[in-house]
């Protein structure tokens, strides 16, 4: 499989792109962070919609290269910074008005080879390994009045995400619901207890075809001060 297919956008990425396009006013003139750039299509869209600047972080050097190539092709590279690194470690002390991410969050320790990199999907037995790391650092990098948007598989248990956000002074809400095909090789890798718990309640099958539900989740500050109001007015 070539590098182009290695980072082919998924249904999750497509849903994130739709959200970004539908909320273009929120992107304009903002400092944006994308964690896990993959192919670079989300970052390119954010910059095309008028983001003031964008930092893209990915664990994989090939993803950083793919993103750089796409942004260069689209003449968007001048407002972008790209870093190979592990999530928040690559962000220093920066804060961002908008944070977007489609993290590896499949409930598996390992997914049998499907042409993707080993880091592409697996999120540990309950899928939350990267999600909890993301939430744990978000409050240190979200600007006043800022917004984070993440893809969120049904088996991550939104109540856990909501409770963790609440403990950090943040609030989480489901903004958009969708469903994606669940390939048989990924189904075979799914943690057995997750499959048992969610089959019929977020994981569905019709004959030999399987599907998994997922959400787009918005995370923002619970209590905003005057500084946040000024930012909201600037974006208005």
Query: Cβ atoms within 10 A of the Cβ of 40, count?
Result: 29
Domain membership of residue 111 (yes or no) is: yes
**Please, which residues bridge with residue 204 across strands?**
211
Domain membership of residue 194 (yes or no) is: no
- Proportion of the chain in helix, strand, coil states, percent, rounded to 5: 40, 30, 30
Higher-pLDDT residue of 233, 112: 112
Q: What is the pLDDT of residues 65-107, one digit of tens each?
A: 999 999 999 999 999 999 999 999 989 999 999 999 999 998 8
Task: Kindly list the distances between the CA atom of residue 185 and the CA atoms of 112, 157, 182, in Å, as whole numbers in the listed order.
Answer: 7, 23, 8
Domain membership of residue 53 (yes or no) is: yes
Residue 234: pLDDT over 80: no
CATH of the domain at 29: 3.40.50.150
Domain membership of residue 68 (yes or no) is: yes
Q: What is the pLDDT of residue 150?
A: 98
Residue 225: pLDDT over 60: no
Domain membership of residue 149 (yes or no) is: yes
DSSP 73-118: HTT-GGGEEEEESSGGGGSTT--EEEEEE----BSBS----SSS-T
* Pairwise CA distance, residues 53 & 28, whole Å: 10
Average predicted confidence (pLDDT) for the chain: 89
* Pairwise CA distance, residues 109 & 75, whole Å: 38
- The first and second tokens of residue 71, run together, are 């942004």
* Pairwise CA distance, residues 211 & 7, whole Å: 21
> Structural domain tally of the chain?
1
pTM: predicted TM-score of the whole model, two decimal places: 0.90
Domain membership of residue 185 (yes or no) is: no
Residue 21: pLDDT over 60: yes
Residue range of the domain that includes 122: 3-180+213-235
Domain membership of residue 70 (yes or no) is: yes
Residue 52: pLDDT over 90: yes
Domain membership of residue 189 (yes or no) is: no
């Amino acid at each position: 499989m070539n590098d182009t297919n290695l980072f082919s956008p998924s249904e999750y990425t497509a849903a994130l792109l739709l959200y970004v396009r539908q909320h273009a006013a929120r992107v304009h003139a903002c400092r944006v962070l994308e964690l896990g750039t993959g192919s670079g299509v989300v970052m390119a869209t954010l910059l095309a919609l008028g983001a003031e600047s964008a930092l893209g972080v990915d664990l994989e050097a090939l993803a950083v290269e793919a993103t750089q190539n796409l942004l260069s092709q689209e003449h968007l590279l001048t407002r972008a910074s790209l870093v190979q690194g592990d999530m928040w470690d690559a962000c220093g002390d920066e804060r961002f008005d908008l944070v977007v991410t489609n993290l590896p969050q499949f409930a598996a320790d390992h997914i049998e080879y499907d042409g993707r990199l080993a880091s592409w999907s697996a999120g540990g037995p309950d899928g939350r390994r990267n999600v909890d790391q993301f939430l744990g650092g978000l409050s240190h990098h979200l600007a006043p009045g800022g917004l984070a948007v993440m893809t969120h598989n049904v088996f991550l248990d939104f109540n856990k995400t909501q409770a963790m956000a609440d403990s950090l002074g943040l609030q989480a809400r489901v903004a958009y619901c969708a469903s994606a095909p669940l390939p048989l090789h990924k189904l075979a890798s799914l943690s057995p207890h997750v499959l048992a718990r969610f089959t019929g309640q977020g994981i569905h099958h019709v004959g030999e075809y399987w599907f998994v539900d997922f959400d787009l989740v918005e995370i923002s500050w619970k209590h905003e001060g005057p500084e946040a109001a000024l930012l909201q007015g600037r974006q208005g």
